[in-house]
Structure 1
Amino acid sequence: MEHELLGLEDTTEIVSFKKLYRIIWRMKWLIIAITLVFTLGASYYAIKQPNIYRANGIYIPAKNQTGGGLSQLAGQFGGLASMAGISLGGDKGDDNEIAIELLKSRSFLQSFIEKRNILPQIMAAEKWNESTNTLVYNPEIYDIKNNKWVVNESSDKKTKPTAWDAYYKLLGMINVQYMMKKGMVKISVSYLSPEVSVQWLNWLVEDLNQYWRQKDKQQAVESVEYLQKQIRQTNISEMHSIFYNIIAEQTQQILLTEVRKEYLFKTLAPIVTPEEKFAPSRALLCIVGMFIGSLIALLISFVYVSFCPERKAKNI
């Protein structure tokens, strides 16, 4: 039985590390050449990639700090107010999560691009000139001297981009993290220029606060108008007292929208202009290129030796 097993083992082809070593040694120059080509290609690609800088901001939800009488009224008159279409904050969802989704929405970002006139910086900028502190634009896309887009008449496809086209590119530059347990929101913007990344981050939060402020103001004004109408139509003194209490709180809400600039998100600390690049990791790109090149080289070598008619003559 043992002899039969030994005979079976002898007839079974087992991969030999010695044979693999012989193949690698025989094809070493091809392996080195292919690996070197991929490494040089990855290095060239990494060098050509522009630096990306990331501006980070940490914000505290400002609306959480305005409970007080409004939250008390929400418990007392929340049902009545909801019947009137008025929100006192007691049964509201998480405004922070809603605001984050709004920040990433197409409608908000497209209006942001148009309002701030940053379409050329998104679609045509190639790199940042550190010595002159200016952006370098692709001359085939945008004429910076005349501030106009270059239109290719020979092409059927329109070359002038729109805010619709720039949406996904801008969205990829924005990163938002909601740290619910800490009660903070971290917003980051990555861009070619460190100063522009800081400016865009400030603009994003500013526009988000303004949008939320206008929304709440409009809702409060409509609520006051509705309650005043109900007061004129109701003769019950107890209902008048309730309506006036709600009107007082809605009026306070209107005053807050007028006074408080950081209405939804309050900056925890001033944003610092980044001095070190966030990306790309050129060393990592070179290592990945070398690794991929070596795998392809080994694969080619094994395939070549397997189908080479001279492999037996070479004792492999």
Structure 2
Amino acid sequence: MSENSKKSSAFNYDKTEDQINLVEMLLYFWKHKLLAISVALTLAIVGAVVSKLLPDIYESSALLAPNETDNNSGMAAIGNQFGGLASLAGIALPNAGASKVTLALELLKSRVFISEFIRKYHLEADIYATESWDKEKGELIYDKSIFDVESGAWTREKGEPTILEVYDIFLEDHLVISANEKSNFVNISVRHFSPHWAQEVLTNLVSELNEKIRAMDIKSSAKSISYLEDRLKETQVDDMRKVLFRLMEREFQKKMLAEVKDGYVFYTVDPPVVPEYPRWPKRILIVLISFIAGLVISFTGITLVYSFRREFKS
């Protein structure tokens, strides 16, 4: 027999041996299929029990659209026409700067605004100490080792949490902000054990954000108008007085709009509602993943046992 024929025979023999081993392994799996299914079902039941013990977390969302008036173009026109005269007189014309929407979104995540909001609505315990929600009574359940509802006292060892601790938890666990750069629509969500709490807090949050920016603009315009009036008394140059009058006109317009416009920065396209179903936990998904994990563990164990038995026999 030639050398090539010997190699071909050896190759065919090895190939046949592999096929036999694969068939044996599949038969071994089939023989222990009930064990694999039992392990998978056991883990699925454990996953179902664990998911049932986890508290429900609800999410209330609001879709907001920017409600801006384009004041920047007017300021730009004044700057192009009278910028030189204004600079000679020591008047700095305002730049366009960041939009109100950008400012509002950054303010919404700021320590100052969120801390003031939490204090105003007394949300410290609801954010820091709640552990679940009683659906039948419609009441929040607090961790007694942290906060005592009856006395209203903090029972944790460190005492009452600082406002920065509460702020961090609110921003990390309860507040979700997403903005669409193309459409400029903004989606704000609040998550909590109580669906009513989530909806109420989100409604107040959007309202307070609009009012905060409104108050800032009214204060800024009033200060600018006062300054421009003083400069107007000091100058007799006609061209310069025209600049001052135009600037005052813009500030009066800005102040008037701030005082009368509803939804100053954002108007609500889709208002927050009380969610009917929890966002988390995904119980069906947890059970399914537990079942698949059980199958993987079972077949891995069966494969190892099969490999050890073959090694032992050989």
Give the TM-score of the pair, scaled to structure 2.
0.83
State whether residues 54 and 190 of structure 1, in contact with CA within 8 Å, keep that contact through their aligned partners in structure 2.
yes
Provide the rounded CA distance (Å) in 2 between the counterparts of 1:19 and 1:57: 59
Other-structure match for 1:281: 282
Given the alignment of the two structures, is residue 103 of structure 1 paired with residue 142 of structure 2, yes or no?
A: no
Partner of 2:236: 235
Distance in 1 separating the partners of 2:193 and 2:148: 19
The residue that corresponds to 1:162 in the other structure is 162
Which residue, 7, 15, 18 being the options, matches 2:10?
Answer: 7
Structure 1 residue 33 displacement after superposition: 4.4
- Shift of the alpha carbon at 1:270? 4.0
Determine if the alignment matches structure 1 residue 47 to structure 2 residue 65.
no
In 1, are the aligned partners of 2:108 and 2:209 still within 8 Å (CA)?
yes
Counterpart-to-counterpart distance in 2, 1:106 and 1:6: 78
Matches of 2:72 and 2:210, distance apart in 1: 21
Rounded to whole Å, the distance in 2 between the matches of 1:27 and 1:280 is: 33
Select between 273-282 and 102-111 the one with higher mean Cα deviation: 102-111
CA contact (8 A) 1:51 1:277 kept: yes
SS in 1 for 2:272: coil
134-143 or 175-184, larger mean C-alpha shift: 175-184
1:29-85 CA distance string (max 9 Å, x none): 55344323322221111101222222221222122xx33xx4553232135379844
- Cα deviation, 1:102-152, whole Å, max 9, x if unaligned, reads 323344333332332212112221222222211112222221111122134
Q: Report the more deviating stretch, 266-275 or 24-33.
A: 24-33
Show the counterpart of 1:56. Answer: 61
Q: Where in structure 1 are there 5+ consecutive unaligned residues?
A: 153-157
C-alpha separation between the residues in 2 aligned to 1:287 and 1:71? 55
Instruction: Pick one of 94, 117, 120 that aligns with 1:87.
Output: 94
Q: How far 1:5 moved relative to its partner? A: 3.4
Compared CA separation, residues 256 and 30, structure 1 to 2 (3 A): same
Amino acid in structure 1 at the alignment position of 2:162 = T
Query: Retained in 2: the 8 A contact 1:174–1:190?
Result: yes
Contact 2:132 2:193 survives alignment (8 Å): yes
For the residues of structure 2 that align with 1:210 and 1:136, how far apart are their CA atoms? Answer: 32
1:263 is paired with a residue of what secondary structure?
A: coil
Matched residue, 1:212: 213
In structure 2, what is the equivalent of residue 263 of structure 1?
Answer: 264
What is the aligned-residue RMSD (CA, Å)?
Answer: 2.9
Indicate conservation of the 8 Å contact 1:97/1:178, yes or no.
no
1:117 partner SS: coil
Q: Quick one: which of 116, 130, 134 aligns to 1:125?
A: 130
Question: How far off is 1:309 after superposition?
Answer: 7.9
Give the direction of change, closer, same or farther, for the CA distance of 1:100–1:14 in structure 2 (3 Å limit): farther
Q: Relative to structure 2, which stretch is displaced further, 71-80 or 243-252? A: 71-80
Q: 1:21 aligns with which of 19, 26, 50?
A: 26
The reply on whether 1:146 has 2:151 as its aligned counterpart is yes
- Per the alignment, in what secondary structure is the counterpart of residue 187 of structure 1? strand
After superposition, give the CA deviation of every residue in 1:206-246 in whole Å (9 maximum; x if it has no partner). 22112212222232223223323332333211111111121
**Please, which of 32, 36, 42 is the counterpart of residue 37 of structure 1?**
42
Residue in structure 2 matched with residue 245 of structure 1 by the alignment? 246
Residues 164-208 of structure 1: CA distance to partner in whole angstroms, max 9, x if unpaired? Answer: 223343223222232344443222222222211111111211221
Alignment identity in percent? Answer: 26
Distance of 1:202 and 1:129 partners within structure 2? 22
How many positions carry a matched residue from both structures? 302
Rate the CA distance shift 1:27–1:92 in 2: closer, same or farther, 3 A.
same
SS of aligned partner of 2:236? coil
- Given that 2:78 and 2:246 are in contact with CA atoms closer than 8 Å, whether structure 1 keeps it comes out as no
Cα distance in 2 for partners of 1:131, 1:105 equals 36
